[in-house]
Amino acid sequence: MPSILPTNRLHRVSLSLQQTIKLQKEGVSLENDSGRTIDQIVLKVAADRWHLAARHRVTANKLMNGNPPSFRDAISRYYYSMYHALRACLFAYHRGDDFEKHSVLPLNIPPDFDPAVDWEQKMKNARFTRNKADYDLYPKSNTAWRADARLLRTDALRLLRLARTYLIGKGCQL
C-alpha cells in the first residue's frame, strides 16, 4: 500500500467539498475502468470531436455536389465542421471544454495553433455567414449563397487538415 500523502495534500482534501471528492473519485474510476490516464482520455475525446468535424464536412460536400446543390445547408455544415475541429484543438490544449460557446471559442485559440492565419476572424465570419444562411429569409435564391459556401468549403478543409496535424502533435491518435 502506498504511503500516506504529504500534509499539504491531506490538508487540501480536508477542505474539499463533497462535489470535489465525488469528482476525484470519478477520475480514479475513469482511469481504472479504461486503463488509460485522464490525459489519454482527454486526447481520445479530442480525436472523436475531430472525427465529428470530418463527418460534418463530408455532409457539407454532399450538399454542395447535390443536384441541385444546397448551398445554404452546406454553409451550416461547413461551419460546424470548422467549429468542432477547432473545439477539438482547444479541448486538447486547455484540457477541458471551457470555451464551447460559439462566441467564446474563437477567442481562446491556442497560441501554438497556426499563428500565420487569423482563425479567430475566420471563425467569427463563418459563424456570421452560418447565422445568415440559417435564419435570414433573403436572399431566397440558392445560387446567391454559392460564393459563401465555396469560401467556407475551402476554410473548412484547411482547418480540418491543420487541426488533424495539431492534434497528432498533441498526442491524439487519428
**6: left (phi > 0), else alpha (psi -120 to 50), else beta?**
beta
From CA 144, how far away is CA 98, in angstroms rounded? 36
From CA 83, how far away is CA 50, in angstroms rounded? 10
Residue pair 60/74 in contact (Cβ under 8 Å)? The answer is yes
Q: Which residue has the cell 472525427?
A: 51
Is CATH 1.20.120.330 correct for 36-170? yes
Residue pair 34/41 in contact (Cβ under 8 Å)? The answer is yes
Average pLDDT over residues 14-19: 92
| Residues carrying CATH 1.20.120.330, the chain | 36-170
Q: Residue 156 has what pLDDT? A: 98
pLDDT digits (tens, 9 = 90+) for 81-127: 999 999 999 999 999 999 999 999 999 999 999 887 899 999 999 99
* Total-model pTM: 0.90
